[in-house]
Structure 1
Amino acid sequence: MAEPLVSIADLKVHFTVGRTMFSPGTVVRAVDGVSFDVGRGEVLGLVGESGSGKTTLGRSILRLVEPTSGSVRFEGEEVTTLPPSRLKRLRSRMQIIFQDPYASLNPRMSVGQTLSEALELHAIGTRADRAERVGDLLEQVGLPRAVAQRFPHEFSGGQRQRIGIARALAVNPGFIVADEPVSALDVSIQAQIINLLQDLRQELGLSILFIGHDLSVIEFLCDRVVVLYLGRIMETATAADLYANPRHPYTRALLDAAPVPDPRKRRERITLKGDLPSPSAPPSGCVFRTRCPFAIAACAETVPPLETVGARHQVACIRAGELDLTE
C-alpha cells in the first residue's frame, strides 16, 4: 500500500484557560488523541457539530495552532518538530482555505497584490512571471484576469471565496485544508464552489481535508469521512459505506438531522438531546454517552477504542456489534 500523503497519529491539542497567579486554570481538550491518514489525491471529509474540534484539528495539522502532543507527517516528514525555516518551505506544500473569504483577505490589497504576495514570500518567479501566474490563477478559479486590479469589497462572497482558493493554489500545494469553505455562501453559490473544488482536485491531483457540517456536500465531494465528537473520532469509513451503513449512534443522529429530499419518506430518527458537553470537562468513558439513546452503564467506565468493523470502516462504540442503525 502506498504511503499516505498526510499521516496524523494520536494528535492532541489542549488549551489552558483561566490561569492566574492563584489558579492553574482549566484544561480544554479541543483535540484529544486523533489518528487518521489522507491519501494522495484523496478528499477526506471531517464532520461534527460546532465545538467538536474540527477547525482546531485542521489548523493544528498545518501548525497554525501548535499541537500539544502527537505526530503529523507530511510526505514522511515530521511536521510538529520542524524549525521555522523548514516549516516555511513546507507551507508551500500545505495550504488552507478559510471559512470567511472576506475576513481572510486584506482589504487594502488588490487581488493581484494578494496573490503575488504568496509567490513573493516563497521566492517563486520574477515579477513578470508572478504577474502571469496571477492571471493564470484567476482564470483557473473562473475569474477574468482583469479583476487583478480590483479590491475585495468589489466582489461577491462567492467570488471572494474563488480568490481565497486561488491564493491557496498559488504556490502549487499538494495538500489543502478547506475549513468550511462554503458555509457562509448561498446554496446556489455553494454548488459552484464545490464543483470548482472537485474540478481542481481532479486537474491538479490535490489531497483535501474538507471540514464541513453539510452532509450532502460531504457525500458528493469526499472519498472518506471522519466523524468527530468532542475532539475524538467516533467513526470513519468510505463516504458510500458511512451513509449506507452507519455504525455509531452519533453518525446516525447527524444523518437523521439532514433534510430528506422526499417529504413522503418517513424513518425512525435518532434525535440528540441536550448540548455538546464542555471540552474542559468531558464525560467519563465514551464522551458521547450523555446524549446517546443506547448508552448503558459500561459506557461510563470504558473509553471505546476505534475498532475495525469492515473494509476501511472503524467505529468507537462498545455496542457497535449489536446495534442496527441502518434505515
Structure 2
Amino acid sequence: MAETLLQVSDLKVHFEIGKSMFKPGVIIRAVDGVSFEVGKGEVVGLVGESGSGKSTLGRSILRLIEPTGGSVNFDGSQVTELASAQLKALRSQMQIIFQDPYASLNPRMSVGQIIGEALLLHNIGTRKDRPERVGDLLEKVGLPRSAAARFPHEFSGGQRQRIGIARALAVNPQFIVADEPVSALDVSIQAQIINLLQDLRQELGLSILFIGHDLSVIEFLCDRVIVMYLGKIMETATAADLYSKPLHPYTRALLDAAPVPDPRVRRSRITLKGDLPSPINPPSGCVFRTRCPFAIEKCAQTVPPLEERGERHSVACLRADELNLRE
C-alpha cells in the first residue's frame, strides 16, 4: 500500500435540528464513526445511496462542515485541531470539485478571475505571471486559453466542470475531494471528465476521494472502494475484490442494481425494498437490517464492527462468514 496521506479516525458529523428555548433539538447522525485511509497517489471511491452521508463526509474532511468528533490527519497535520490561519495554509493542499458546475462558479466573475482568485488568496505567483498560469491550467483541462476572458454562462455543463477542476488544480493540491463531479452531466460528457481525472491523477500524482453513484465509473477510476449506508461504512476493499467478491448484502444489492449490457444474461439479484431510514431515528443494531433479506434477531441487538475478512477487505456484517454473495 502507498504511504498514507489522509487518515480519518472515528469521524462523526451530527446536526441538531428543532432546538428552541423550550425544547431540546433532535440529533441527526449524518456521519457516525467513520475511519479509513487514503494513500499518496491513490483514488478511493465512496459509494452509497443518496442520504448515506457521502458528501457530508467529504466536506467534513476539508472542514467545510465542522466535524462533531473524531480526527482527520493529513500528511502529519491534525486538520480538526487547526486554527483558521493554519487551516487556510493547508487548504492549498486539499481541494474540492463540487457536484453542480452551474452553482459552484460565480456568474459575476470571468473564468480568469475565478481561477486566479485561488492563486491570489494563497499568494501563488505574481500579478504579472498569474494570467499565464491561468492559461496553462485551462489548457491542462482541455479548454482554450481564450476562455479566461469569458463568463460561466457562456459554457456548457461539461466545460464548466472543467473550469471547476482547473480551479481546484490552481494551488497544486495533493488531495482532492471529487463530490459527484459527473452526476449532473450527460453520459458522453461524463466519460470525458472521468478520462480527464484519470489523466490528471497519473500526471500529477493526485490522491482523490471520488464520491459517486455510478459503479462502473468507480470500478474504472478507483483503486479502493468504501461503501456507506446511513452514516456508517458497510464494506471497504480494493475495487477488484469488491466487484468480484462482495461480502455485504448492501454491496451486492448495489452491484445488482447496475444494468448488465447483455440482455441475455440472467442472474440472481438482491433487491432492496423500502427507503433509506431516517438518520433522526436509525434502526438499532445494524442500520441496514430493516432492508436486509438476511437479517436475523441478533442483527437488531448488535452493532456489527468493521472487521477484516482478507487483505485490505473489511466488512461490517454479523453474517458475512456464512453468506455467499459472489456473482
**TM bucket by the smaller chain?**
over 0.9
Shift of residue 134, structure 1, vs aligned partner: 0.1
- Deviation track 1:94-140 (CA, whole Å, cap 9, x = no partner) reads 00000001100000000001011000000111112211100000000
2:46 and 2:226 in contact (8 A); partners too: yes
**Structure 2 residue identity aligned to 1:227:** V
Shift of residue 3, structure 1, vs aligned partner: 4.0
Match in the other structure for 1:20: 20
Match in the other structure for 1:229: 229
Shift of residue 21, structure 1, vs aligned partner: 1.2
Shift of residue 189, structure 1, vs aligned partner: 0.3
1:289 aligns with 2:298: no
- Counterpart Cα distance in 1 of 2:2 and 2:184: 36
Q: Which secondary structure does the structure 2 equivalent of 1:125 belong to?
A: coil
Match in the other structure for 1:42: 42
Q: How does 1:1-327 map to 2 (within 5 A)?
A: 3-327=3-327
Q: Which secondary structure does the structure 2 equivalent of 1:35 belong to?
A: strand
- Deviation track 1:217-240 (CA, whole Å, cap 9, x = no partner) reads 000000000000000000000000
- Counterpart Cα distance in 2 of 1:2 and 1:47: 22
Q: Which secondary structure does the structure 1 equivalent of 2:24 belong to?
A: coil
- Counterpart Cα distance in 1 of 2:214 and 2:58: 17
- Counterpart Cα distance in 2 of 1:128 and 1:263: 59
Q: 1:307 to 1:58 in 2, by over 3 A?
A: same
- Counterpart Cα distance in 2 of 1:216 and 1:132: 37
- Deviation track 1:39-76 (CA, whole Å, cap 9, x = no partner) reads 00000000000000000000000000000000100001
Moved beyond 6 Å, runs of 4+: none
**Structure 1 residue identity aligned to 2:57:** L
Q: Which secondary structure does the structure 1 equivalent of 2:128 belong to?
A: helix
Q: Which secondary structure does the structure 2 equivalent of 1:58 belong to?
A: helix
- Counterpart Cα distance in 2 of 1:271 and 1:189: 30
- Counterpart Cα distance in 1 of 2:267 and 2:2: 41
Q: Which secondary structure does the structure 2 equivalent of 1:271 belong to?
A: coil
- Deviation track 1:226-272 (CA, whole Å, cap 9, x = no partner) reads 00000000000000000000000000000000111111101110000
- Counterpart Cα distance in 2 of 1:137 and 1:181: 18
Please, which runs of 5 or more residues in structure 2 have no aligned partner?
none
**Structure 2 residue identity aligned to 1:94:** M
- Counterpart Cα distance in 1 of 2:264 and 2:128: 60
Aligned Cα root-mean-square deviation (Å): 0.7
2:2 and 2:41 in contact (8 A); partners too: no
Shift of residue 2, structure 1, vs aligned partner: 5.6
- Counterpart Cα distance in 1 of 2:268 and 2:147: 51
How many residue pairs end up in the alignment? 327
- Counterpart Cα distance in 2 of 1:175 and 1:272: 34
- Counterpart Cα distance in 2 of 1:250 and 1:286: 12
**Structure 2 residue identity aligned to 1:149:** A
**Structure 2 residue identity aligned to 1:316:** A
Q: Which secondary structure does the structure 1 equivalent of 2:4 belong to?
A: coil
- Counterpart Cα distance in 2 of 1:130 and 1:102: 25
Name the TM-score, length of structure 2 as normaliser: 0.99
- Counting aligned pairs with the same residue, the percent is 81
- Counterpart Cα distance in 1 of 2:283 and 2:4: 33
- Counterpart Cα distance in 2 of 1:2 and 1:264: 41
Please, which runs of 5 or more residues in structure 1 have no aligned partner?
none
Name the TM-score, length of structure 1 as normaliser: 0.99
Q: Which secondary structure does the structure 2 equivalent of 1:147 belong to?
A: helix
Q: Which secondary structure does the structure 2 equivalent of 1:228 belong to?
A: strand
2:2 and 2:42 in contact (8 A); partners too: no
